[in-house]
Chain A
């Protein structure tokens, strides 16, 4: 609040006062009072008026400063009316009443949305658990009845399973903090699981694998990590090149960090797009190639989950040559 703006706002009072002073001056003068006496009276009343204005200005300024401080400290700004003191001034009290009404409606609205979002998340979770049962049955059916036909169906089944997992992890990403278990995690066994999951597709697509047999171990959460690595491997398969496709997985250790590299010799990513591949919904040039079915969700989830479990993820690529994703622990 600035003083000149305040005065400008009070201009009507001041105008009335000026007119009143002129009238008073004329009247007192007509009664035969001396100019000096009249000026003294006017001086005193003007002083009084200024004093009132100043006092009012500082009091208002102080009050709003206090409110500003409260709102700054508030995590949810719409709770202002809940935490501020009820003002004793009648004009503020009216404002307060309205603000309180408005905030209350906001609080109700937010609670309603939160509830419905929570219910939706719970529904997704339970849906995923339900659908995993027929997926499990079908996978067992394939294992017990292998043929060219069932093998093909199993590849699709694996794809379905990947999408189902993506939905589950997407729904869960906000709760990573309450849902992880840091322990010594063997990178080899995670990578083996991921390869095993995508075995049919990798063999079918004729992709050569070169996996270091000493990837080592890190302290992290196995489940989230496996999901992240799976997304990266799925991408490497999706964006492979036609001939002699290869995926290399190796690790490196220095003083305080472990680097896990997942490298393919696929179609690569344009330099101009590489910064955006972790953005939600970004599909880029590669995503528009027919048949690639890019959703723009996989890498976004990877980045987000990596941040939450405290590991770094980097991507490097040269078009038509390679893409390397590095996870740094």
Chain B
């Protein structure tokens, strides 16, 4: 199931880019473009999570939050360029679940969204495996399964392969992988990446997977 995220933001440019970003991250996205009766619109849309700007035309985000809270329990993340302690406190007292400052650090924003969703909907099972060309990656155990064989990867190796699986069919730049790893607090460099890719290839070969990861010279990798 896809989570539905509602963006309440009056800056058109931010709204649209944020929509693309969240869609790329695998969420369904709804936006509010008319800032009258926002609370009613929200209740009609029934989102799983709301990204709420504080400075809006007409009513501000805090007032809207209070109104929404009177009706529904949907998690709300305040997003604002004001970052004083008072603003943060305001956000939390009216029932916001989190408070993120603009310009947001995008990986941090995505992490917080997924954390809050997990907390708010614990009954939703997370996707535990990802499959491509008959190869299964088991996220919790870090195992790769192929036919009736399996092999364990290290945390770094698994994360790299997982990223390639997520972008299956596309050429992935080396730097994109490095950045993705950094976003997950694994601070590897270009050389370490090469070493890891070699090890992944060796391990995959052990369970009979040959030539899965193609090297595209000067561009990156592709599966």
Contacts and interface: CB of A to CB of B under 8 A. Distances in A.
Interface of A: 128-129, 132-137, 139-141, 143-144, 146, 151, 161, 179-181, 192-193, 195-197, 199-200, 202-203, 206, 208-209, 211, 213, 221, 223
Given A146-B176, A161-B103, A211-B187, A140 B85 contact: no
B14 interface: yes
Contacts of A179: 84-86
Name the 10 nearest CB pairs between A and B, nearest first: A140-B17, A209-B187, A136-B103, A132-B81, A137-B13, A181-B85, A129-B81, A135-B103, A136-B102, A144-B20
Nearest to A151: B175
A174 B182 CA distance: 36
Interface in B142-188: 173, 175-176, 178-179, 182-183, 185, 187
A196 B17 contact: no
Given A135-B102, A144-B21, 11 more contacts: A128-B81, A129-B82, A136-B103, A136-B104, A140-B21, A143-B17, A151-B175, A181-B88, A195-B182, A196-B105, A203-B182
B121 to A, nearest CB: 22
Interface in B73-105: 81-86, 88-89, 101-105
Interface residues of B, number: 36
A61 B175 CA distance: 81
Chain B binding site: helix, strand, loop or mixed by DSSP?
A: helix
Given A133-B102, A193-B108, A141 B86 contact: no
Interface of B: 11, 13-14, 17-18, 20-21, 24, 55, 81-86, 88-89, 101-108, 173, 175-176, 178-179, 182-183, 185, 187, 189-190
B175 A203 contact: yes
A144 B20 CA distance: 7
A277 to B, nearest CB: 27
Nearest to A172: B84
Given A141-B17, A143-B21, A146-B176, A196 B182 contact: yes
A203 B89 contact: no
Nearest to A180: B85
Nearest to B11: A133
A199 B85 CA distance: 27
A137 B108 CA distance: 16
A135 B185 CA distance: 24
B193 to A, nearest CB: 11
Contacts of A161: 103
A129 B101 CA distance: 10
B103 A196 contact: no
